[in-house]
């Protein structure tokens, strides 16, 4: 039975490696049969707030807010699997305590001809990414609707962005200044020493504030803070 024992040892090694991969994955992984949870990794349980093996035997209905959501997602997901496709969607999910979060659902069938008999699903928590996107959206809204003119440059002082107030004050359309240098506003009212001192302060103290004369698109010189 030496050969059989060697095969059993290899199988145990492979299973141990697969279990280690599953338990150390940063995404939730679950095996469903007839939409019943057959096996899942620890990250999947943690993501939804359940204890070890607590979810086994339950249908995936426990992952969704309502019966309607469960039904609709099932129709979309298994419809895709029946067509031989991989399914991917960003959806709202529900934890054990009832709290709702956004996540990615990614699934594929073990056998494309019988998707309900076995499918593997990967769940990814999108909460942090969603929050970051919302913060960016709010920041963009503040930038665009600020009463003060705002111009953003890179480290080489190339203009990357400007808001509507900047365009209104200077007379330049936003697309006219993108890729240009701020010296297109230069009025020639200040000597080199003025700009050298301004940039020295900006570089060494991270900020500069003061009055400066600039020139609008139409050639008018104006003072600004």
**Higher pLDDT residue, 10 or 94?**
94
pLDDT tens per residue across span 4-54? 777 766 766 655 556 655 666 678 999 999 999 999 999 999 999 999 999
Contact partners, residue 158, CB within 8 Å, separation at least 6: 179, 180, 181
Q: Per-residue pLDDT averaged across 189-199, rounded? A: 93
Q: Per-residue pLDDT averaged across 92-100, rounded? A: 95
**Higher pLDDT residue, 137 or 12?**
137
41 close to 52: Cβ distance less than 8 angstroms: no
pLDDT tens per residue across span 163-180? 999 999 999 999 999 999
pLDDT at 55 over 90: yes
Q: How far apart are CA 59 and CA 216, in angstroms?
A: 66
pLDDT tens per residue across span 114-135? 999 999 999 999 888 888 888 8
The pLDDT of residue 20 is 56
Q: Per-residue pLDDT averaged across 102-122, rounded? A: 92
Contact partners, residue 56, CB within 8 Å, separation at least 6: 37, 38, 39, 40
Q: How far apart are CA 207 and CA 225, in angstroms?
A: 13
Buried b (16+ CB within 10 A) or exposed e, 8-21: eeeeeeeeeeeeee
The pLDDT of residue 201 is 95
């Amino acid at each position: 039975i030496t050969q059989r024992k060697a095969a059993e040892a290899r199988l145990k090694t492979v299973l141990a490696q697969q279990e280690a991969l599953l338990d150390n994955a940063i995404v939730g992984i679950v095996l469903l049969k007839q939409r019943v949870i057959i096996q899942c990794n620890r990250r999947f349980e943690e993501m939804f707030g359940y204890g070890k093996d607590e979810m086994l035997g339950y249908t995936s209905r426990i992952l969704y807010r309502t019966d309607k959501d469960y039904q609709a997602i099932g129709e979309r997901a298994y419809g895709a699997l029946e067509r031989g496709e991989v399914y991917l969607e960003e959806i709202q999910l529900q934890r054990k305590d009832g709290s709702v979060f956004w996540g990615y659902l990614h699934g594929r069938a073990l056998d494309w001809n019988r998707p309900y008999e076995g499918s593997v699903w990967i769940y990814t928590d999108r909460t942090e990414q969603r929050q970051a996107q919302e913060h960016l959206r709010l920041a963009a809204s503040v930038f665009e609707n600020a009463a003060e003119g705002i111009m953003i440059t890179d480290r080489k002082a190339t203009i990357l962005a400007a808001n509507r107030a900047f365009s209104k004050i200077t007379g330049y359309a936003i697309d006219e200044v993108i890729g240009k240098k701020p010296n297109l506003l230069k009025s020639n009212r200040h000597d080199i020493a003025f700009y050298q001192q301004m940039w020295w302060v900006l570089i060494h103290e991270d900020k500069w504030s003061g009055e400066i004369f600039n020139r609008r698109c139409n050639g008018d010189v104006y003072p600004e803070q």
